[in-house]
Amino acid sequence: MTQLLPVYTLWRREMVRFVRQRSRVTGALLQPLVFWLLLGGGLNASFRPAGSGDGLSYVAYFYPGMIALVLLFTAIFSTISTVEDRNAGFLQGVLVAPVPRWAVVLGQALGGATLAVAQGALCLLMAPLVGIALSPASVVATIVVMTIVAVGLTSLGLVIAWRMESTQGFHAIMNLILIPIWLLSGAFFPATGAPAPLKILMTLDPLTYGMAALRRTLYLADPGVVATVPPLLPSLAVSAAFGALALWGAARMAQRAAV
């Protein structure tokens, strides 16, 4: 039980820091929103997602993808600070305190995930714009899915951040790994019409299942619209397994990064 106090305190620090850094709010929430409006709006007239149900416009298709991007960006922004924080910042003191590394990582992951889910939940306010009538059940289910996905993405960010010596390296990883993970998750285009090699990659992408679960819970009342994505429960199982694996990996990395 005593280990939960450090977990709680590190989580709380993330909350307070976030509120006091307005640029982070802007970056994590507005950037995906702008992507959604510009890309979604621009592509809406020209493209209709293959295999999607009748009447699903591109803007509507991209909407859950935007939510995933909000989760991803928040996860990245909240974990990237780990790199500098442990060499010349607050984490130095945490690392010499009698606190196991797993507790440090758990506090960080829960902090990052909470911020991500809070911003993802704000995006739900725009659901009516794309014709989704959210029921209370759908909102709750969607937030559960967002939480599982956010823990996974934040933990993945932590695995990378604890390995890195500098933040420059993090940017390269972000462009080479994190953004492709999002692009190949079905957030931006469906697997249905994709060429075979891409389809294989999309099947292997763990975020594919997070995206599928997100679409399933958003369209809880109207499953026909999302009939081509993997079913809800297996998707949730894969997402939860990935989250647990990433969290374990992050704890290992933190253990190795310092004695």
Count other C-beta atoms under 10 Å from residue 224's C-beta. 8
Nearest distance from C-beta of residue 8 to other proteins, angstroms: 7
Q: Which amino acid is at 13?
A: R
Question: Which of 5/34 has CB closer to other proteins?
Answer: 5
Kindly tell me which of 17 and 199 has the beta carbon lying closer to other proteins: 17
Q: Do residues 28 and 154 make contact, with C-beta atoms less than 8 angstroms apart?
A: no
Residues 4-43, interacting with other proteins (CB under 8 A): 5-6, 8-10, 12-13, 16-17, 20-21
Q: Which stretch binds other proteins (CB under 8 A): 71-79, 90-98, 149-157, 206-214?
A: 90-98
**Token pair belonging to 151:** 């823990």
Distance in Å, CB of 19 to other proteins, minimum? 9
Residue (8 or 35) nearer to other proteins, CB: 8
Rounded least distance, CB 257 to other proteins, Å: 10
**In the complex, minimum distance from the CB of residue 12 to other proteins, in angstroms, rounded to a whole number:** 8
Between CA 238 and CA 243 the distance in angstroms is 9
For other proteins, the binding residue among 125, 196, 204, 259 (CB under 8 A) is 259
User: What minimum distance in Å lies between the beta carbon of 143 and other proteins?
Assistant: 27
Residue 90 sits in the site that holds other proteins (CB under 8 A):
yes
SS (HEC) of the chain = CCCHHHHHHHHHHHHHHHHHCHHHHHHHHHHHHHHHHHHHHHHHCCCCCCCCCCCCCHHHHHHHHHHHHHHHHHHHHHHHHHHHHHHHCHHHHHHCCCCCHHHHHHHHHHHHHHHHHHHHHHHHHHHHHHCCCCCHHHHHHHHHHHHHHHHHHHHHHHHHHHHCCCHHHHHHHHHHHHHHHHHHHHHCCCCCCCCHHHHHHHHHCHHHHHHHHHHHHHCCCCHHHHCCCCCHHHHHHHHHHHHHHHHHHHHHHHHHHCC
Q: Applying CB under 8 A, what is the total number of residues that bind other proteins? A: 28
One of 23, 55, 98, 224 touching other proteins (CB under 8 A): 98
| Contact pick of 15, 38, 45, 97 for other proteins (by CB under 8 A) | 97
By CB under 8 A, residue 68 contacts other proteins = no
Cβ 124 to other proteins shortest distance, Å: 28
**Taking the complex as a whole, how short is the minimal distance between the CB of residue 85 and other proteins, in angstroms?**
9
Site of interaction with other proteins (CB under 8 A): 2, 5-6, 8-10, 12-13, 16-17, 20-21, 87-100, 258-259
